Amino acid sequence: MSAQATTTEPARCLKCRRILRNASPDGYGPKCRRKVRRAARINQDGHHGWQVAKAVELLELGAVIPLRANRIFLVVSDDGNEVYRTAITGQCNCPAGLRSVACYHSAAAAMAAA
């Protein structure tokens, strides 16, 4: 009988892709988490306060996943039933984004890319 060694990939930061010593529920390392929180404190152009608060909540839950070179993200909806493609430039395929209205998904993507 041959025993197969099971190898698992180490947890990596969603933003900088560095190996995490301690996996976190949001998927960010400590330095990247500080950068995201600092970006949340800065006034987001075109976003209301409640949108910034929801964007921070999405980031803390790990619901913002980089898709392409920290410019396009997959963002989970607040009820968890939908996943939207969101660019840091503000485009989003959520119902509000399709009407060219600033949505909290785009705020979360901008914060994650900051």
Q: What are the tens digits of pLDDT across the range 95-110? A: 988 998 888 898 888 8
Question: What Rg do the C-alpha atoms of the chain give, in angstroms?
Answer: 16
DSSP state of 25: T
In the chain, where the domains are located: 30-113
Contact (CB, 8 A) for 84 and 95? no
pLDDT confidence of residue 22: 84
Q: Look at residue 33 and tell me whether its pLDDT is greater than 90.
A: no
Instruction: Identify residue 46 by its one-letter amino acid code.
Output: G
Q: What are the tens digits of pLDDT across the range 55-84? A: 888 888 888 888 877 789 999 988 889 999
Which pTM was predicted?
0.67
